[in-house]
């Protein structure tokens, strides 16, 4: 079995990646600040301490590791954009400099492939309605997006024949959060069921399982098709009205739904590039099944 180290494996996105790789027969080790609670994963998973610190020597964490998936991110609880709080410098030091140090350490330790979980936020504001494609000029307008973009570029500078790299620009990830955790729409569902006013919104979403499938694809596809490249990882454009309409049917809640948000000016993400490699997300059928499960 091929050994994979997943940083941030106990995080919201990381858990999907770990579970999917385990199911597909990979030998997975979770790296992070604290070990997972017993029973957090479907089976016992080895743990190694791993932190986002550019001064830390952590090469021992990469012993016998063939693949490295970097999904860790240091931020305020519940926030990514704006997750720096009052410490922008510390946020940058951990998430950019700390990530680059891990990339370099992985390469020096003989890791063969490195996959970085980036973000839609790298694109920043674009023309209304423009399709977001990997080759367009990125214009991040948040520190979060800027750091993700700089980390992508740093990883690209390290790629080579012996160290294959790829970055996945993921959008809003949804799905069950795991034992003892609440899913991303928990407060939205609570507001609606409780009869509180819910605002209209629209956004792009992708199930965590589909993100995990994209990660596995980066580990398995021919290296010449992915090395040094970035891939959009997005599925559907949806909003509070559609999400809550599924919840409404599942719970028979009588409260009115919010108005549909205008989606004409929203920037959808083009996924032709990753779909050409065989990736196919679950679409609205998966959205409906997931909300019914969460309900």
pLDDT value for 82: 67
268 pLDDT more than 70: yes
Find the length of the chain: 295
Residue 242 and residue 105: Cα distance in Å, rounded? 44
Q: Exposed, middle or buried: residue 172 (CB in 10 Å: 0-12, 13-18, 19+)?
A: middle
279 band by pLDDT with thresholds 50, 70 and 90 = very high
**pLDDT reading at 173 higher than 80:** yes
Distances (CA, A) of 140 to 66, 120, 121: 32, 9, 6
User: Can you give the pLDDT at residue 213?
Assistant: 98
Look over the chain and give the mean of its residue pLDDT values, rounded to a whole number: 95
Contact 12, 184 (CB under 8 A): yes
Percent pLDDT > 90 in the chain is 92
Bridging pattern class, strands 202-207 and 236-239: antiparallel
First to last CA, the chain: 37
Beta bridge partners of 232: 169
pLDDT at residue 194, as a whole number: 96
* pLDDT tier, 246 (very low <50, low <70, confident <90, very high otherwise): very high
For residue 80, what pLDDT is reported?
62
- Give me the mean pLDDT over the 14-24 stretch: 97
d(CA 89, CA 282): 38
**What average pLDDT does range 225-243 have in this prediction?**
97
pLDDT tens sequence across 178-229: 898 999 999 999 999 999 999 999 999 999 999 999 999 999 999 999 999 9
How much is the pLDDT for 78? 65
* Residues 25-52 pLDDT 10s: 999 999 999 999 999 999 999 999 999 9
Looking at the predicted structure, is the pLDDT value of residue 122 above 80? yes
The pLDDT value recorded for residue 210 is 98
Q: For 70-91, how does the pLDDT look when each residue is reduced to its tens digit (9 = 90+)?
A: 999 986 666 666 666 778 999 9
What CA–CA distance (Å, rounded) separates 170 from 120? 6
Nearest to 92 by CA among 124, 52, 59: 52
Span 140-169, pLDDT tens digits: 999 999 999 999 999 999 999 899 999 999
Cα–Cα distance measured from residue 21 to residue 24, given in angstroms and rounded to the nearest whole number = 5
The pLDDT value given to residue 138: 97
For residue 89 the two structure tokens come to 């410098």
pLDDT at 86 (0 to 100): 74
Reading the block at residue 16, the tokens are 């999907």
Token pair for residue 34? 């604290």
Write down the pTM of the prediction. 0.95
Over 70: is that where the pLDDT of 235 sits?
A: yes
């Amino acid at each position: 079995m091929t050994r994979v180290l997943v940083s941030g494996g106990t995080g919201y996105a990381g858990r999907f990646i770990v579970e999917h790789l385990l199911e597909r027969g990979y030998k997975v080790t979770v790296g992070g600040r604290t070990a997972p609670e017993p029973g957090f994963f479907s089976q016992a998973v080895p743990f190694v301490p791993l932190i986002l610190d550019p001064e830390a020597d952590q090469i021992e964490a990469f012993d016998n590791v063939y693949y490295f998936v970097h999904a860790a991110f240091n931020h305020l609880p519940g926030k990514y954009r704006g997750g720096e709080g009052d410490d922008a410098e510390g946020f940058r030091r951990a998430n950019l400099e700390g990530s680059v140090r891990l990339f370099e350490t992985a390469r020096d330790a003989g890791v063969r492939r490195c996959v970085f979980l980036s973000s839609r936020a790298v694109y920043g504001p674009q023309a209304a309605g423009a399709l977001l494609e990997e080759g367009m000029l990125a214009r991040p307008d948040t520190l979060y997006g800027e750091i993700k973009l700089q980390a992508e570029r740093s990883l690209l500078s390290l790629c080579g024949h012996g160290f294959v790299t790829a970055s996945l620009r993921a959008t809003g990830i949804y799905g069950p959060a795991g034992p003892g955790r609440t899913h991303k729409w928990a407060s939205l569902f609570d507001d609606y069921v409780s009869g509180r006013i819910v605002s209209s919104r629209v956004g792009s979403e992708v199930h965590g399982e589909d993100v995990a499938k994209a990660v596995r694809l980066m580990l398995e596809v021919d290296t010449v098709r992915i090395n040094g490249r970035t891939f959009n990882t997005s599925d559907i454009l949806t909003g509070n009205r559609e999400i809550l309409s599924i919840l409404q049917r599942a719970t028979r809640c009588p409260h009115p739904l919010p108005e549909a948000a205008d989606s004409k000016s929203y920037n959808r993400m083009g996924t032709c590039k990753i779909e050409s490699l065989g990736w196919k997300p679950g679409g609205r059928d998966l959205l409906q099944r997931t909300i019914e499960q969460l309900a």
